Amino acid sequence: MSTEKPDATPMDGQYDVVVVGGGIAGQEAALSLAAMDRKVLLIERGLSVGGKMIQLSKVFPTLDCAACITTPKMSETSRHPNIKVMLSSTISNIARKGSFSATVTTAPRFVKRADCTGCQECEAVCPEVRIDGYNEKLVGRKVAYIPFTLANPRIATIDRGGTSAPCIAACPGGVKAYGYVSLARNGQFDEAMELHLEDNPLPGSLGRACYAPCEGQCSRSLAEGPVDMRRIKRHFSEYYYAKHQAPLDKKKKDPSGKKVAIIGSGPAGLTAAYFLALKGHDVTIFEAQREAGGMLRMTLPQYRLPNAIVDRDILNVTSLGVKIETGQGITDPATLKEGGYNAVLVAVGTHESTRLGIKGSTLGGIVNCLDFLRESKIGSKVSLKGKKVVVVGGGNTAMDASRTALRLEAASVTIIYRRSRDEMPAWPLEVREAEEEGVKLEFLRNPVSFAGDAGSVKSMRLVKMALGLPDAGGRRASTAVAGSEYEEPVDFVIEAIGLKPTTTVLAKALPLNKDGTIQVDPVTLQTASPWLFAAGDAASGSSTIIAAAGQGKRAAFYLDRFLSGEVVGAAEFGDKLPTSDSAAILRDKAFPAPVIPDKFREGAERCKDFKEVERTFTDDEARRAAGRCLDCSNCRECHQCVNICPANAIDFSMKEERREIRAEAIVIATGFELFNPAEKPQYLFGHPNVITSIQMDRLIAPTRPFNGLVRPGDGKTPGNIAYVLCAGSRDSSLSNFTACGLRPSDSPACSQICCMYSIKQAQLLMGSLPMADITIYYIDIRAFGKGYEEFYQEARGMGVNFVKGKVARISASSGNPQDIVLRVEDIEKGILKEVSHDLVVLSTGIRPVNEIVNAFATEKPLLDEYSFIKVTDPMFNPGQTSVEGVFVAGTAAAAMDIPDSILSAGAAAAGAAAYIAQRKRGF
Amino acid sequence: MAVLDPSFKRTLKRYGAGDFSACYNCGTCTAVCNLSEKNAEFPRKLLRYGMLGMKEEALADPALWLCYACGSCSDTCPRDADPKAYMAALRRYAVARSEPTGLTGLLFTSNPLSIVFSLVLALVLGFFMLTLKPDHVVSRWIFEALPYEIIHNVGLIVMILTVISMLFGVVMMFRRLFKGFKLPERPWAALVDAVKKTIVELISMKRYRSCDNDEESFWRTRPLVTKPWFVHLSIMWGFIGLLVATAVNFILKDPGTQVWLPTRLLGTISGIALVYGSSLAIYYRLAKITSSYKKSSLSDWLFLGSLWFAGVSGFWMEIAVTADWASSLNRIVFLLHTVVSMELVLLFAFSKFAHAFYRPVALFTHFFRKA
Amino acid sequence: MAEQKRVGVYICHCGGNISDYVDVVALRDELAKDPDVLVSKHLQFACSDASQKEMEKDIRDQHLDAMIVCSCSPKLHTHTFRNVAARSGLNPYKYVQVNIREQCSWAHSDHSAEATLKASGLVRAGKERVLNAEALIPIRVESRQAVAVIGAGVSGMRAATALADMGEEVFLIESAEKAGGQVGSRAKLFPDNSSGAALVERMQGEIRKRPGIKLFTKATIQNVSGSLGNFTVKVSVGGGETLSLNAGAILIATGYDDYKPLTDEFGYGSGPNVMTLPEFNALLESGSGDIRVGGRAVKRIAYIYCVGMRQVKGPNAYCSRACCTAAISSALAAHERAGGLDIFHLYRDIRTYGKQESFYERSSKAGDSYLMYSEKSPPKVEQKGASLGITVKDSLTAKTDIELEVDLLVLVTGMVPRSDSGNIASLFKIPRGSDKFFNEIHPKLRPVETVINGIYLGGSCQGPKTISESVQSSLAAASKIFGVIGKGTIELEPIVARVHEADCSYCGKCAKVCEYSAITEAEHGDRRVAIVNSSACVGCGICAPVCPSDAIDLARYTNAEIESMIDAFAAASGIVPSASGEGDASGKESIQMKEFPARWNTMLAAIGDEAMSIPAIAGATGFDAQDVTFEVMTMVKYRVLVPKGIDDDDEYYSYQRKW
């Protein structure tokens, strides 16, 4: 659960130079500066250093393998003692105060860099396939993946896409609903259970009695109705418990030597104990009642939650070595502290009832619901045979009490509620079930007094109520209607009007709020005494099982930090991301799937006994119910990767980190973008067999995604390939698109590299497909660098076909729509041609990337007329931008090939080094 | 061997060609053009003639007239060389060169002159109209100075000269297009075929239609009746219909006050087509709706404006006549209508209008040569 | 028998570059059988970070005492793996790289089985070599904090200022009378239209401002000796005194010469109306108003591009990079100076790369005519009275012959190596490329370094460059130089000659052949022996074979090492390689996902136990062929499917289930 610790290097936060961009120019600049003994921080927004060069097959004109040239540099960059590399990071707020200050934000990759060995086990097991960006969308990759074989560092990442599914986000207990649903969908019920046990030890109870806030937020609830997550959970917990009578061994941390006492064995206490025990602490739970389980045990009736299930859930906790001492009411936690416990958690719940306190309410036959439920469950079941029973209150306990009364053979059971049905706090499903069983509901009534005979209640006086305006909390007040009082005969009354924290006995020992809850820090759940924490309903007020369990988990997290001697509040609890957008999910991926119908025993039959009212799913039903899931987030959070990782390197709780840094100089090496051919509709980009040159580079690279060279449209081995040069370069017609909101190309500059990389690819293709015809359509062949013209002539000699003429229109062949027809004028012959090719490569040009200027808070570097970073003194200081101390290297300044980028990086490094030297000399 | 003549470039700029020397010879314009085809590649070839000063080659190429100025070439030109404007300029130059008096050249290259000439001609024509009723009060005094016959005969001579110019131009064009041309194997069959194709094309302009159908064309998804092809067709058929109706009326000597008379009906429908087409064309040019409407020369405006006015004023007259609604305003409108219509016909050979007879000739040549 | 040897062998797939042809598994197995070899592995990418970590772990855990990586050229990765060794406590010189890529898989890609056999020989040789290799310790040299910059053109001057700013002393050595080089005569420089003269003046000013820079003009270099850290450059200044300059490193920035056309090449020399671009630039700079040649005002100018360049048959095969833009900017300058010019450009390809394209655009918009010729039919030029007639077959007009008459013809000549570049090369012992420009070690890995340690290149002596690019490269060189000598001490490769004094009786033969003056005579007890100055020795090894008594050898190349390598290579190979060199040698098992995406399931069901092509799968499932390709390739990537082979019609691969 911890976040990755920043490397404790001596240069933390203080650098000579910050290089932004880890492509070839950035690496080269960083290495040059590091060689000069400058401390360099290299910031790269991607998952690896390497830039675009690492995607290339080979490089012109030497035909060296690009990887062979880049990997040593990447390796050296990552390892150089003077360079610190920060990946997945962006820089912002760059301001000059003498030197530069800036903020570096690092996105979480959910894999601990120091621990990951790059074994790819997580990638193997991950069931989700996404489009692979490194391979330019030609193949898929997993959600858990290593960015590419040659990545540096070669470690995995979990692509959570920045969101959690709504069900996961909704769960106050931090249970991964989408995760277990996706596993259940695949029949992996054991895995689903294991996933649940990662976040909560009480799946059996929750599967029956949870109010399932996840279902309330389920995207499908906006369509046919939510995925039945609770019942799926009930199914896999039953499936698992049937298979495993005793819990499987869990990986515990080594004993910490710390002792923790927990007061209360309800959901909060049990959950906290579970997580603290996993952390290696020695945990003892003190329970005042004679049996453990809190509300689960005492109040939830058997027909909803059988004792055996609670026992099995508790076994998950006790099997970790947690001791439960029942019948041990603690009144002062300090005694425990003094008795040798390092910390104490109070999780006593809300076991006191609010009483009506009206005339006659001390008469016999009037009980509070908690006593009633507890006695009926673990005590003596008193028969109510033939009695007319009234239950006062509209909450879930009222439902439980009334249905229990029915089962105790009451002649009739009536619920009296002072507001109307809409205001009832009870869970609608439970209300429905109660009514099905024969419970009568009377609304807008309130008891005024009871009258009795021989100390037993015989009648009650009621007053009719009317609803007023909503109060601040949105609930409508109810007021008595004058003169509407009337008498009703009654034999037994159950008061179910509210629960109160069981804190009266603790009042002397702990600071309490007015409502009796314990005063805690809402985030850490720590009280004013650092060793004392409080969780669950006793701290939050009456809530739900899952909310209480969530509190227990939270308390365990911070309590563990306290025990480990860490600053308690310095870490953020939880691994949730912002919620994904249900409306968008429904729009994009909805498929029809009807709800699986409820399965209850008949109301008339089930009210006769305490056996469970709801039937469980079959395997098939569970899978079908899970199959209705709409896959709302990029990552399922199924944690199969977490479980398989042999290095325990995957950590979903990683958070975005921000660090403040200082530096003397900045080198911008943010590189370029390739022209998006969709901007030019004539190029038919989108047809699978019209690809970009970088895609072709991937297709022919030694690390290529495809087995042989096949075209993406239908897997055919192309026999006839065309290159369309100047796609997006030297083209002022593209500025026509600025009006449509697309990026402007501003001015028709030449991209400088396309001719040569096309010739390179043509040469490589001639090698790998000796029978293929390669045609390059060009305007001018710009082979101007050292050895380039020779390379060009060599390609001509090899038989690459060069046609002077810019391709104007690309269309799918009317014969075979997989084939591509180009329309072009062959300038040297002066004739118009329509030529069919198997595969067409668009030699896309370079577009500027300049967002970095927005990271400057004070003076921003200027852009040139082409929107590249402006070099203000090209003849004298070719790396100098308009801001003193800020330099630019490589294609951030202009289109250029790799040798020129490397030279430009060297020049920027020289500029930065001279600048720093001069500053240090006090220029 | 062609001798390079850079002055031609400057001449064409005077005729309204844009920055066509910006061309870097990528051939996009030729390849993007739906009408360009094997053996009739344009517009880059013609641009090249302009760059190098190859005047005769430029004029001898029927491809010049195959273009309907849809503007795809200019839209996609990576150097903003505006081939469409260049083609239009070269056509103006060709019209000027084909006409023996040199008047057309003057009108095309000088806007002030063009305006002055149109106005003067309008005055003269108005005057000429007034002479049609020699006993009219207003003009009686003139005939004391100038005999009615002389004025009328001068008018007729001008008309005849116009027709001669027109014929001369056509003959000139034929000569240029067929220079060094070898007859095909079966010349008669080829001739018949070419004539057939020409007529079909003239009636339907189906080649023009293909211009609006490109994937990326602005017009692709627009209703048919708003497409440039339809607009052009409406104007053309509207004008021809009116011409026929007027001629028949003239022959029948029946001004036709009956609305349901066939000639009247034809006139009405044609008039609607003409006004619809020219209104839209004017709107497109004013709104510069696509890049092909961005640049308009004075000759475009004069031509379109005259057509529109002739059509609208014609309707005015029709309504006035039908409603028997006489006023002095109507008289003026009638006068203007007649003047503008006359001017259109008179300047047929000296204006943009001339394309109406050069294009068929070029189409015919194109089809015949291809046979 | 001596103690157990502990060699680690790593065979690299190079992502298919090697493993597609060489049977790496067989190689691995053969080595594994060798008693000296403790670890034998094959790796997807030996150079990757994870592989390096794996090697480090092996070295530490298995206590390896020597290591071989069989991969690419040692030029690329020797340092990488030496560092691996050093990091894990193994002497870096107990590492040998065997090149089975360039020498086997690439050289014999048509003979996969033989390539494997050859690789096996090389690997065995490498193993023997590493067993005989000595542990060496790098030589540490104190460096002079001074740099000699040869040539005071813009490149040299700019590097000098940068080095001085970083704190180095600079000797700026210029053969001409003053600093400035060729740029001073240029007008309208790309990209900012500034003038060359102004730039030169500015740089001269910067040099004067820095006392650390000592400028020597009219200086000729007599002799260069020494080595990295301590070079001695003997310079005679102004023909008089000879100075001995002591520098830690040398930057060569000697620039280029303009190509001089041959007599009558495009009419050159036939009259004053044919001139080269530099000559025309000088003419442009020399006055204002009408441009006059032979007393006549020039109205029409033609440029012929690529004069002396891009020759398929001639000596200069290369493109001179900067001349297209130079010619066009001179045309723009001519327009600016004299209105009403008609300018014709006769070119082959216009190479106004990058932002220079705007010059081309401006010139065409100004009305310049561009005509394109091919090398096969170059323009013909003849004098016609006072003007010139040029005929050209214009490729832009369907190869029509065009005739033009002009008043002036400008031959766009490119850059050629300096006429004295041969001398400079032999003075500094640096190599020249086939284009006769000085050669760097590697254009991307080490673009400003020469094979001589401590000697660097900047500017256009390395190849044609624009001014800005020249400045950029000399600055890059400056940062490399400072990175090496700036700390004061340098670590050098210990691969130097060594004299075994016992066997030496100083005959002087070794000293005579040494080109680096690294061997001198010295007393050794009662005898005279040769001694080697290890910082001057470059390890070329020429001394070893001339020694009559085998008293001198070269570290890393001792007789024992070489002989053992020859023996091992000659021994029979123990492997019977499979002829195919089948690619799937990584040994990785198919990845067993517990759940497949729905589409995969449908496709796998369709494939069944057969092998199917993508169109067939698409037909059977009703999916789009494009989607099928994507999913099939992803399944191949995750080893759910494997390619079976290519169809009969040689168009489609077929695929089958992995299990």
For the segment A361-378, the average pLDDT, to the nearest whole number, is 90
CB-based contact (8 Å) between A129 and chain C? yes
DSSP C167-221: T-EEEEE-SSSSTTTTGGG--S-TTT---HHHHHHHHHHHHHH-TTEEEE-SEEE
C43 has a pLDDT exceeding 60 = yes
Query: Which one of B24, B36, B75 has the shortest CB-CB distance to A733?
Result: B75
Contact assignment for B76 to A682 by CB distance below 8 Å: yes
Residue C471 has pLDDT above 50, yes or no: yes
Statement: residue C658 has pLDDT above 60: yes
Predicted TM-score (pTM) above 0.90: no
Query: Strands C400-406, C408-413: parallel, antiparallel or unpaired by DSSP?
Result: unpaired
A686 inside 8 A of chain C by CB: no
Please report which confidence band the pLDDT of residue B140 belongs to, taking 50, 70 and 90 as the band edges.
low
The pLDDT of residue A739 is 34
Inter-residue contact A336 to A282 (CB < 8 Å):
no
pLDDT score of B266 more than 50: yes
Helix (H) or strand (E) holding C355: none
pLDDT above 80: residue A31: yes
* Residue C46 pLDDT: 86
Q: Are the Cβ atoms of A905 and C158 closer than 8 angstroms?
A: no
CA quadruple B7, B12, B13, B17: dihedral, nearest 10: -140
Contacts of B22 in chain C (CB under 8 A): 361, 364-365
3 state SS for C114-139: HHHHHHHHHHHHHHHHHHHCCCCCCE
- Check for a shared fold between C7-136 and C494-555: no
Nearest CA in chain C to B78: C361
**What are the boundaries of each domain within chain C?**
7-136, 146-255+418-489, 265-415, 494-555, 598-657
Distances (CA, A) of A393 to A448, A463, A470, A481: 14, 14, 19, 19
Strands A445-453 vs C242-247: parallel, antiparallel or unpaired: unpaired
**Alpha-carbon distances of A95 from A663, B30, B174, B340, rounded to whole Å:** 10, 53, 75, 71
pLDDT, position B142: 60
Compare CB distances from C402 to B2, B21, B79 and report the shortest one's residue.
B2
A423 touches chain B (CB under 8 A): no
pLDDT band at C2; cut points 50, 70, 90: low
- Helix or strand or coil: residue C497? strand
A778 to chain B, closest Cα gap in Å:
8
pLDDT in tens, C541-574: 999 999 999 999 999 999 999 999 999 999 887 7
d(CA C388, CA C273): 8
Q: Which helix (H) or strand (E) holds C243?
A: strand C242-247
CA distance C73 to C510: 30
* Inter-chain residue contact A826 with B78, CB threshold 8 Å: no
Least confident piece of the model among A268-282, A295-309, A906-920, B344-358: B344-358
Beta strands in C16-72 (DSSP E): 37-43, 66-71
3-state secondary structure B40-100: ECCCHHHHHHHHHCCHHHHHCCCHHHHCCCCCHHHHHCCCCCCHHHHHHHHHHHHHHHHCC
**Given this model, what pLDDT does residue A1 score?**
37
Tens digit of pLDDT for each residue in A620-641? 999 999 999 999 999 999 999 9
Q: What is the mean pLDDT of chain C?
A: 90
Count of CA atoms in the C-beta half-sphere (13 A) of B350: 25
Task: Take residue C84 and report the two structure tokens written for it.
Answer: 């691996």
* pLDDT higher at A474 or A566: A566
Distance CA A614, CA A432 (A): 13
C interface with B, Cβ–Cβ below 8 Å: 300, 342, 344, 350, 360-361, 364-372, 391, 394, 396-398, 400-405
Interface ipTM: 0.89
Residue of chain B whose Cα is closest to the Cα of A682:
B216
Among chain B residues, the shortest Cα distance to A827 is held by B27
Q: Which residue in chain B is spatially nearest to C365 when comparing CA positions?
A: B22
Gap between the terminal Cα atoms of chain C: 48
pLDDT at residue number C648: 65
Q: Do B21 and C403 touch (CB under 8 A)?
A: no
**By the CB < 8 Å criterion, does A806 face chain B?**
yes
Sequence-distant (≥ 6) Cβ neighbours of residue B333 within 8 angstroms? B313, B316, B317, B320
Do C162 and A140 count as a contact with CB atoms less than 8 A apart?
Answer: no
Mean pLDDT of chain B: 85
- Whether the Cβ atoms of residue B350 and residue B52 lie closer than 8 Å to each other: no
Q: How far is A779 from chain B (nearest CA, A)?
A: 6
The segment with the largest mean pLDDT, out of A757-771, C43-57, C636-650, is A757-771
Report the residue from C154, C199, C472 with minimal CB separation from A903.
C472
Q: Which amino acid is residue B261, in one-letter code?
A: L
Residues in C touching A913 (Cβ below 8 Å): 166, 479, 482
Q: Do A786 and C594 touch (CB under 8 A)?
A: no
β-pairing verdict for C66-71 and C37-43 = unpaired
Mean of the per-residue pLDDT values for chain A?
91
- CA-nearest residue to C300 within chain B is B6
From the candidates B23, B29, B30, which should be mutated to test the interface with A, based on the most A CB atoms within 10 A?
B30
A256 neighbors A229 (Cβ within 8 angstroms): no
**How is domain C265-415 classified at the architecture level of CATH?**
3-Layer(bba) Sandwich (3.50)
What is the amino acid identity at position C192? D
CB contact under 8 A, A825 and B31: yes
Band of the pLDDT at B254, cuts 50, 70, 90? low
Do C127 and C31 meet the contact criterion of CB atoms below 8 Å apart?
yes
pLDDT given for residue A747 in this prediction: 55
Residues paired with residue A42 on neighbouring β-strands, in sequence order: A19, A85
Chain B residues within 8 A of C344 when measuring between CB atoms: 4
- Ranking A270-279, A657-666, B188-197 by mean pLDDT, the lowest is B188-197
The candidate with the shortest Cα–Cα distance to A117, out of B77, C54, C412, is C54
Angle at A363 between CA A362 and CA A365, to 5 degrees: 115
- Mean pLDDT in residue range C287-316: 92
Task: Note whether B41 contacts A: Cβ–Cβ < 8 A.
Answer: yes
Contacts of B52 in chain C (CB under 8 A): 369, 371, 394, 397, 402
Q: Which CATH number fits domain C7-136: 3.40.50, 2.60.40, 3.40.720, 1.10.287?
A: 3.40.50
CATH number 3.40.1280.30 is the correct assignment for the domain at C146-255+418-489: no
The reported pLDDT for the residue numbered C300 is 96
pLDDT at C588: 41
Residue of chain C nearest B1, judged by CA positions = C401
Q: What is the pLDDT of residue A887?
A: 98
Percentage of the residues of chain A whose pLDDT score is greater than 70:
97
Measure CB to CB from residue C400 to each of B2, B23, B51 and give the nearest one. Answer: B2
Residue to substitute from C369, C382, C393, C407, interface B, most B β-carbons within 10 A: C369
Give the range among A273-287, A878-892, C429-443 with minimum mean pLDDT. Answer: C429-443
Distances (CA, A) of C21 to A64, A327, C77, C119, C412: 18, 77, 21, 11, 48
Q: Which of C120, C114, C99 is nearest to C21 (CA)?
A: C114
Which other chains touch chain C, taking contact as 3+ CB pairs less than 8 Å apart? A, B
B45: nearest CA partner in chain A: A830
Going from the C-alpha of B348 to that of each of B59, B169, B303, B342, C146, the distances in angstroms are 20, 12, 10, 10, 86
Give per-residue pLDDT as tens, C360-418: 999 999 999 999 999 999 999 999 988 999 999 999 999 999 999 999 999 999 999 99
- Judged against a pLDDT cut of 70, whether residue B146 lies above it is answered with no
Quickly state the pLDDT bin for A4 (edges 50, 70, 90): very low
Which residues from chain C sit within 8 angstroms of residue B2, using beta carbons?
Answer: 397, 400-403
Closest CB to C471 among A68, A831, A878: A878
Beta carbons of A682 and B216 less than 8 Å apart = yes
- Subunits with 3+ C-beta pairs closer than 8 A to B: A, C
Q: State whether A824 and B36 contact (CB < 8 Å).
A: no
Span A105-138, pLDDT tens digits: 999 999 998 888 777 889 989 999 999 999 999 9
Percentage above 90 pLDDT, chain B: 26
Q: In the prediction, which pLDDT does A507 show?
A: 81
Residue B217 contacts A where some CB pair is shorter than 8 Å? no
pLDDT band at A515 (very low <50, low <70, confident <90, very high): confident
Which residue type sits at A239?
Y
Residue of C366, C369, C401 with shortest CB distance to B1: C401
Size of interface B-C (CB pairs under 8 A): 56
pLDDT at A250: 85
- pLDDT at position C238, please? 82
Say if the Cβ atoms of A36 and C317 lie within 8 Å.
no
Residue B2 has pLDDT above 90, yes or no: no
Tell if the CB–CB gap between A784 and C48 is shorter than 8 Å.
no
Strand-pairing partners, residue C342, are: C300
> pLDDT grade, residue A743 (50/70/90)?
very low
Which spans in A453-504 are helix H? Answer: none
* Distance in Å, alpha carbon of C473 to nearest chain A alpha carbon: 5
Closest-CA distance, B73 to chain A, in angstroms, reads 10
Could you give the percent of chain A with pLDDT greater than 90? 75
Alpha carbons within 13 A on the beta-carbon side of B250: 6
Pairing of strands A690-692, A839-844: parallel
> CATH classification of C494-555 is 3.30.70.20, yes or no?
yes
B144-178: b (≥16 Cβ within 10 Å) or e: eeeeeeebeeebeeeeeebeebbebbbebbeebbe
Can you name the residues that pair with C390 across neighbouring β-strands? C381, C404
Confidence of residue C252 (pLDDT cuts 50, 70, 90): very high
Residue C579's pLDDT is 44
pLDDT at C594: 83
Dist CA B226 CA B204 (whole Å) = 16
